[in-house]
Amino acid sequence: MAAKERPSLVTTLAAVPDPRRQCRNLRHELGDILVIGFCAVLCGSEDFVEIEEFGISKEDFFREFLDLPNGIPSHDTFRRTFQAINPQMFQQALIGWLKSLRPSEAASDEDQVVAIDGKTLRRTFDQKKGLGALHLVSAWATANGITLGQVAVDAKSNEITAIPKLIDQLDLQDCLVTIDAAGCQKGIAAQIVDKEANYLLAVKDNQPKLAEQVADYFLAQGAAGNPDLRCHAEVEEGHGRTETRTTYVGRAPKELVASGVWVGLAAVVMVVRECVDHATGMASDEVRYYITSLPARAKRLGRAVRQHWGIENGLHWVLDIAFNEDRLRLRDRNAIENMALLNRLAVSLLRNDTTVKAGVKCKRKTAGWSNDYLLHLLFNCP
């Protein structure tokens, strides 16, 4: 890479509004601070002290494309900057950059599943301020493993208020939005339809009347051999068990459609999961119910139910295991939210890269060891 060439990440982050007071004591450019912070998180740094040490160890590398008029910022400068940056503006810039760097291939309608789910950063509570641990709701494109956005749940609220804010900032046209039971709300269903998208919402006891109606529908129909129901079964073996998932789909009951309270409702879904442990021979089963605005297609909907769990396995689990996110001890809400965004974008970059045949945790270390690999991840350089 030519010296002082400005890669897209640098120009993107330089455009983020600078919240700092503009004065003679301002020694570091905002873009430099944010680029070093992102690179450090991508390579394994978990706090601001580690970010400073990473920057010092890679100063010659960063000088190839950053000005760094006063060297590497201190950890206090990193901390104060990430506390001051507006999370929404930071998110808008970085996610736009990620999409431009990893443009999604043309996908069929069946591939355009956006999973929305929440995750608590368990050690970010602040007893002195009376604040519980921060809870973030994220949107995850299951086809290409990219984080599309995140919203923090208000301290005195829950996911029901955060999910509409997240949906409002996403382009969901022609997508299928999948949400667990917390998002099974009439207003959320209507909002998704207004976005020219479809929904697949889990039904549990937080909507007792709806859950009873859907369960009674399948009980009355009888699953096996009923011509009014469509069925698709899948069998998977792995991790020491055999799992059979059978998806039953039927047209939504007339009384549910006629009421009009669930906008766009077209079908109801029942997924029966049976699991046999190879070591013990013990069997377990589970039944889950869903409502959807899609037509009654069992294979399509069964696949979408499965894809939804990609946000748990492909994002949340990775954040806990490879990024130690549950150990994050920050207290300032802006700083936590901004660091959590860097974690999620780092997961997207690392999962989409195929040049290193290893897991996300190993790829993080490789990026820290190899400048060439880090450049490849950030700027798509060979």
pLDDT tens for each residue of the chain, 382 residues long = 444 566 788 889 988 999 998 887 889 999 999 999 999 999 999 999 999 999 999 999 999 999 999 999 999 999 999 999 999 999 999 998 888 876 555 455 566 899 999 999 988 988 888 888 899 999 999 988 899 999 999 766 688 999 999 999 999 999 999 999 999 999 999 999 999 999 999 999 889 999 999 999 998 887 556 777 899 999 988 888 899 999 999 999 988 998 889 999 999 999 999 999 888 989 999 999 999 999 999 999 999 999 998 899 889 999 999 999 988 888 898 999 999 999 999 999 999 899 999 999 999 999 999 999 999 998 764 4
pTM of the complete model: 0.90
* 311 shares a domain with 190: yes
* 361 shares a domain with 229: no
* 309 shares a domain with 170: yes
Q: Are 35 and 342 in contact (CB under 8 A)?
A: no
Q: Where are the beta strands (DSSP E) in the chain?
A: 113-121, 134-141, 146-152, 176-179, 198-203, 230-238, 241-251, 267-277, 283-292
* 311 shares a domain with 366: no
Which of 316, 337, 369 marks a domain boundary? 316
CA neighbor of 28 nearest in space, from 40, 13, 39, 43: 13
Residues, the chain: 382
Q: Name every residue whose Cβ is closer than 8 Å to that of residue 229 and which is 6 or more positions away in sequence.
A: 218, 221, 223, 248, 249, 250
Domain annotation covers residue 329: no
Domain annotation covers residue 321: no
Domain annotation covers residue 255: yes
* 310 shares a domain with 221: yes
Reduce the DSSP state of residue 73 to 3 states and report it.
Answer: coil
* 159 shares a domain with 224: yes
Domain annotation covers residue 322: no
Which of 270, 299, 316 marks a domain boundary? 316
* 279 shares a domain with 164: yes
* 203 shares a domain with 63: no
Domain annotation covers residue 336: no
Domain annotation covers residue 90: no
* 370 shares a domain with 291: no
CA neighbor of 203 nearest in space, from 310, 309, 305: 305
Give the total number of structural domains in the chain: 2
Its domain, for residue 69, covers 8-85+354-379
Residue 138 maps to which CATH number? Answer: 3.90.350.10
Cα 332 from Cα 355, distance rounded (Å): 37
Domain annotation covers residue 16: yes
* 302 shares a domain with 218: yes
DSSP result, 112-133: -EEEEEEEEETT--BTTTTB--
* 289 shares a domain with 154: yes
CA neighbor of 272 nearest in space, from 244, 235, 239: 244
Domain annotation covers residue 364: yes
* 363 shares a domain with 281: no
